[in-house]
Chain A
């Protein structure tokens, strides 16, 4: 336990009840008077030029109020990524709101707004499009070959970029190796499967100013990107903060076509326009990029890395979007920085294909790398007889080391070794049963994997927004309103930020309420992504609360006849330090600040002075000083049916260093949700496409399989290694992503342990296991 009154407690989520009864705060539930319904016409072809389009019959349909074709959109190329500046040289601006060239099956080609959704859908059928079909390519290796279709004009061999990373002398490192391990590790395309569809309502006023309500992860990113693609100044777009959205996981971290199209339709119709994506549309809007990683590792006789080389081919898909940043994070945090090795080299290739867009997804490039690294470490340990826990301990960075991605920082709080040790102990790693234990056809196996290094935000990432702001305002009833532009994407950001404000203010968490706002009224904030909110937004909230508290204590000076520096707030009372009897409620101090100069009370007149007057409010807008690393280790037990190849995950033990835990129940929930997505990535989730047309055949939950409660292990244990991060709010760091990064290799290693089959491509389907066993 700690000395805090609110931090570290499991608190109920303030939005839980409302969500259970329907969640009227979800953007999908928003309706405005006079609102029109928009729908998008999508291309059936994966690669085509639009030779002609006749929308006259659609426009003539009664109830149709506006229609947008490629000829009607500003020709402003953009990158959909929310969290990088629109004009950054680090982004590839290869998209138009509607393009005359289609580059993936399902790409929007027109949009209609009508008085009802069914009229709008009917109107789509009346639009005649002449497509001039072009040859399409879906395999990134084929896309690089001479003579492959050119997907974006002037991009030779469809290669967007070939980023590299190197350290030391790779050749010398391999020369010094006693053993060399090589393997190719492939990961598939998966979708985030957030619950609330992408939806937006755009409402243009008579002056051409657009107000937008959307289910996205970045309020200011939405404002900036929407203004940019519409050719408007940012102040002409007002993005309104929803109280929460129904999941994101990275899938709502880019501008989707629906937002600018709704805005254009609204600007035409002068009425609010709502567009809600169907599940099929959600599936083809964003995904985790498939990758093929070649990994080669040199090891000395005594088990030291001498050289690590990797090559990554990333299917950047039809539009580059997040891919350049995904592959950068992948190379550093997925592949190269987690373990110490003097010689390292990585070569990446980003390739356009006619596949549906990639994007951001919890883990952001790291799962593709972690699967390779952690699988291969298991292969090394097995072959050379090292214990997987000891081997990782030997190569992991230590607390106090320079930060591997930025030597200007140190790993001030870093408990990866403790994650390994305590996780192994809880799991019973040393006393685990022998490989392939179990009677009959079902075999047990044990495996582990780790993510030694991760982020608490984006500080240090090139050209990426990383600052937050908050406003804390105290009310005369002793409560506080907290305003930040942070979006709660379902993982409990609201609860955590309220806890941080409450702890700093010395009031109960129930007395803090997250109030809403818009880009007009809120300080700028980075996106809800990169495991950053608790740490980076938390620092801003703490600073705003501290500023409000400072003012509170100043006002309390005359009431308590003491200097502000001698005052403190605890349990809603302002008191003189060390003299608990001498105290006044926070509410009374706020009332005094808000009161008239002369108050007539039953006890006579009471006077306040100028210096006490005014709303007690604190604001902040600042960047976090560091980017401290969380760490994670996971231990898994599986059972494999050697006749059918089915895998059951029986038990998971996680150990996370996330600094100080803020909301214990929330943190455990994050970990369990990450495991669910991790099991899906490891065993079943896979977006599949028609080989000829590129049409997605897994765009619903009949065909796209993710784990249900039934597939989850009955035992999930979370250990939190509570290091105390000096730069973090009350010692906290990030959590969100490693819990999804590590399960795939941990499960792959456990399956190998169970049945001796090493599967190097995800998902590890029953079929691959049976094939590995030689049974099919």
Chain B
């Protein structure tokens, strides 16, 4: 039953062609940025009306630019390309992203793109959880007009994004923290080809006194309709020295920020227990990485 209505698969070379195709097919166009999850969306019956697949890989959106203010990643940059970027290995503040990109199997990493992975709005993916903890911003373009907004605003629900008709994600921007900062990501999975049962990314900024000046924790997997920010846990870390006791209490507080569900892969109770464990471990790892970071 796959893509039964499909009439056209096009790979436009410029924006004029993109706009023309979008104009022709309207709501029946589906934008591809990599395509590794097309079968997954189709199997869930989400592509039955699609008549045109518009592959945006030839629009020059495959780039990584390290700027003083942060990192700009073009939407069609593959996981593998990003993984190989020297800045990723050299920057503890990007640790969560490096961890998350290593999770999908190689075949996926060679095809899946950063823009595609966030556009899918699948809370079970790994890189989006890391990007959330890194305070990513999304840039979208429609008919030549560009706007930017926080990544969290993109996720409207499972497999549902907030993009307006005709909008295409062109870039993600990760603001570089000013102080000593590091991040980490962890995932619990059934096997190495699995979507997350629970995943967690934590990013910490540590001030000169060793206190957390900023803490961001994001959780994915079956813990809500979209990737969740653990704001209760973050508040407990804010302004405090992250010793064992603080990390434990922050991890415990995650329970207030997530709404785990039960499915055939795990129960809500198990997801909750593991979300706390992963949060504690991700924070511990981020903290350890930050200790190795020059201020």
Q: Interface residues, chain A, CB within 8 Å of chain B? A: 118, 121, 643-646, 684, 686, 688, 697-698, 700-703, 705-711, 766-767, 770, 775-776
Contact = CB atoms under 8 A, between A and B. Distances in A.
Nearest to A280: B43
B264 A643 contact: no
Interface stretch (B130-138, B188-196, B229-237): B188-196
B194 A705 contact: yes
Given A118-B4, A688-B264, A703-B264, A646 B188 contact: yes
B191 A708 contact: yes
B43 A707 contact: no
A776 B270 contact: yes
A701 B193 contact: yes
A705 B43 contact: no
B267 interface: yes
B277 interface: yes
A687 to B, nearest CB: 10
B273 A705 contact: no
B266 interface: yes
Contact of A644 (B105, B272, B277): B277
Contacts of B188: 644, 646, 766
Contacts of A698: 264
A171 B162 CA distance: 71
Nearest to B263: A697
A532 B280 CA distance: 53
Interface residues of B, number: 23
B273 to A, nearest CB: 5
B191 A705 contact: yes
A776 B273 contact: yes
B264 A644 contact: no
A79 to B, nearest CB: 31
Interface in B229-274: 264-267, 269-270, 272-274
Given A643-B277, A644-B277, A702 B192 contact: no
B1 interface: yes
Contacts of B264: 686, 688, 697-698, 703
6 contacts: A684-B190, A703-B264, A710-B192, A766-B188, A766-B270, A767-B267
A314 B201 CA distance: 45
Contacts of B272: 776
B270 A702 contact: no
| Listed residue (B188, B191, B193) with the most chain A CB atoms within 10 angstroms of its CB | B191
Given A121-B1, A770-B270, A702 B195 contact: yes
B193 A708 contact: yes
Contacts, number: 51
A632 B192 CA distance: 29
A761 to B, nearest CB: 15
B85 to A, nearest CB: 24
B191 A711 contact: yes
B270 A706 contact: no
Interface of B: 1, 4, 40, 43, 105, 188, 190-195, 264-267, 269-270, 272-274, 277-278
A684 B4 CA distance: 34
A684 B43 contact: no
A441 B178 CA distance: 35
A700 B191 contact: no
A776 B190 CA distance: 18
A681 to B, nearest CB: 14
Contacts of A705: 190-191, 193-194
B164 to A, nearest CB: 30
Which 8 pairs between the two chains have the least Cβ-Cβ distance? A710-B192, A705-B190, A688-B264, A767-B270, A643-B277, A708-B192, A776-B269, A705-B191
Contacts of B266: 767
Contacts of A707: 191
Contacts of A770: 270, 273
Contacts of A775: 273
B269 A711 contact: no
Contacts of A121: 1
Nearest to B277: A643
A172 B274 CA distance: 50
Nearest to A706: B191
Nearest to A686: B264
Contacts of B191: 684, 705-708, 710-711
Contacts of B267: 767, 776
A187 B193 CA distance: 24
A776 B274 CA distance: 10
Given A684-B191, A688-B264, A702-B195, A644 B274 contact: yes
Nearest to B189: A705
Nearest to B269: A776
A702 B277 contact: no
Contacts of B193: 701, 705, 708
Given A644-B278, A711-B191, A776-B272, 19 more contacts: A121-B1, A645-B270, A684-B191, A686-B264, A697-B264, A702-B43, A705-B190, A705-B193, A708-B105, A710-B191, A710-B192, A766-B188, A766-B270, A766-B274, A767-B267, A770-B273, A775-B273, A776-B267, A776-B270
Nearest to A642: B277
Contacts of B4: 118
Nearest to A699: B43
A698 B4 CA distance: 23
| Listed residue (A697, A709, A767) with the most chain B CB atoms within 10 angstroms of its CB | A767
B255 to A, nearest CB: 12
Nearest to A698: B264
A473 to B, nearest CB: 45
A540 B205 CA distance: 74
B208 to A, nearest CB: 31
Contacts of A711: 191-192
Contacts of A700: 43
A703 B192 CA distance: 13
Contacts of A766: 188, 270, 274
Nearest to A441: B277
A118 to B, nearest CB: 7
| Listed residue (A707, A770, A776) with the most chain B CB atoms within 10 angstroms of its CB | A776
A703 B39 CA distance: 14
Contacts of A697: 264
Contacts of A684: 190-191
A292 to B, nearest CB: 20
Contacts of A710: 191-192
B231 to A, nearest CB: 24
B267 to A, nearest CB: 6
A706 B191 CA distance: 7
Nearest to B276: A643
| Listed residue (A643, A644, A697) with the most chain B CB atoms within 10 angstroms of its CB | A644
A118 B277 CA distance: 48
Contacts of A709: 192
B73 to A, nearest CB: 27
A775 B272 CA distance: 11
A25 B269 CA distance: 49
A770 B266 CA distance: 12
A508 B188 CA distance: 51
B35 to A, nearest CB: 16
B24 to A, nearest CB: 23
Contacts of B43: 700, 702
Nearest to B4: A118
A703 B189 CA distance: 11
Contacts of A703: 264-265
Nearest to B272: A776
Contacts of A118: 4
A126 to B, nearest CB: 14
Contacts of B194: 705
Nearest to B281: A643
Contacts of A701: 193
A711 B193 CA distance: 10
A118 B193 CA distance: 30
B263 to A, nearest CB: 8
B42 to A, nearest CB: 12
A700 B264 CA distance: 13
Nearest to B40: A702
